[in-house]
Amino acid sequence: MVEDGQNVEGGCLCGDIRYTLHGPTIFCTQCCCKDCQKATGTGHTTIIGVHRDQLEVRGTPKIYLTHGDTGGAVSRHFCGNCGGRLYTSGDLPGSVIMVQAGSLDDPNVVTPTTVIYLKDAVAWDRFDSDLPTFPAIGKRSAEDQAKLDEIKKRPVKTMVM
């Protein structure tokens, strides 16, 4: 996890889009949903939850708008030049965004703690067997949920969608 007061850098493959992620990260999870498979071309994606204001983006990502499992709008941000996936935001102007862990310069700064949408996982994908798995959207511990609810209440100041 990226701690409070810790900043980490990331960006796309070609470097046109760069970002600074300000800790603390709220959650880190493996998502096996069909959308993540199609969007990344992999078995699952690893996402990090942060408040939108914690991500400082340099450059202008392209946005692909779609609808999530629960019917809400989902914006997938990626580099228009190299196609590198960067982050996903929910119902605009939702305050929590999900950053693609693999876009960090050092993805080892985070550790996934859950696996979600296991019902969609492909037969050849593998996960740490110590991690709790959920058929669809995950359930958080009361402590994590309280933290997330608190962050959702924080106003969004950044102009980046």
Q: In Å, how far from its chain's centre is CA 160?
A: 15
Please say whether the beta carbons of 56 and 20 come within 8 A: yes
Q: Does 137 bind Zn ion (CB under 5 A)?
A: no
**12 lies in the site for Zn ion, by CB under 5 A:** yes
3-state DSSP call for residue 81? coil
Stretch that binds Zn ion, among 10-18, 60-68, 144-152, 153-161 (CB under 5 A): 10-18
Q: Which of 78, 110, 90 has its CA nearest to residue 11? A: 78
CA angle 69, 72, 30 (to 5 degrees): 45
Binding segment for Zn ion (CB under 5 A), chosen from 18-26, 78-86, 96-104, 106-114, is 78-86
Q: How far is the CB of 41 from Zn ion (least distance, A)?
A: 13
Which one of residues 2, 26, 28, 31 is an interface residue with Zn ion (CB under 5 A)? 31
Q: Which residues bind Zn ion (CB under 5 A)?
A: 12, 14, 16, 31, 33, 36, 79, 81-82, 84
